Amino acid sequence: MPEECCVVLVTVGDPAEAEKIASAVVEERLDRLPSNKQIGFFSDAYCVEWVYGKLGLVRRCLADVLAGRVEAGQFSMDEALGVAQRILYDAPQRLLGFRPCETL
């Protein structure tokens, strides 16, 4: 893994508690790391259903945290959208070499 990545591991059985912890992690990461050095999430899941669920959780938490920062005046809407794009789309391509699928 590239040395400029930061990995946070969270394992929780209760979905509501998992969302609360994930939101706290997103908040802290936004405060401590530049968005171009963050990747939405890593997973050791071995079936696609787990990855899909975790991605949904992370995206929802990131959206809620960014919406709160827009409401608080920390970010404009364009800045928040740029942060989300860097974390969920740009950084995985740059740091891990992921590329979007051309066709399904």
User: At residue 55, what is the residue type?
Assistant: L
Residue 8: CB atoms within 10 Å: 12
* Domain carrying residue 69: 43-98
Domain presence at residue 18: no
Q: What are phi and psi of 43, to 5 degrees?
A: -145, 145
Domain presence at residue 94: yes
40, 96 contact by CB (below 8 A)? no
Contacts of 52 (CB under 8 A, 6+ apart): none
What's the burial of 73, exposed, middle or buried (CB within 10 Å: 0-12/13-18/19+)? exposed
Domain presence at residue 10: no
Say what the pLDDT of residue 12 is. Answer: 55
Domain presence at residue 29: no
**Of 38, 33, 41, residue with least CA distance to 9:** 41
Say what the pLDDT of residue 77 is. Answer: 98
Domain presence at residue 11: no
pLDDT in tens, the chain (104 residues): 444 444 455 555 677 888 888 899 899 999 999 988 888 776 777 777 878 888 888 899 999 999 999 999 999 999 999 999 999 889 888 888 888 888 76
Say what the pLDDT of residue 11 is. Answer: 55
Question: Number of folded domains in the chain?
Answer: 1
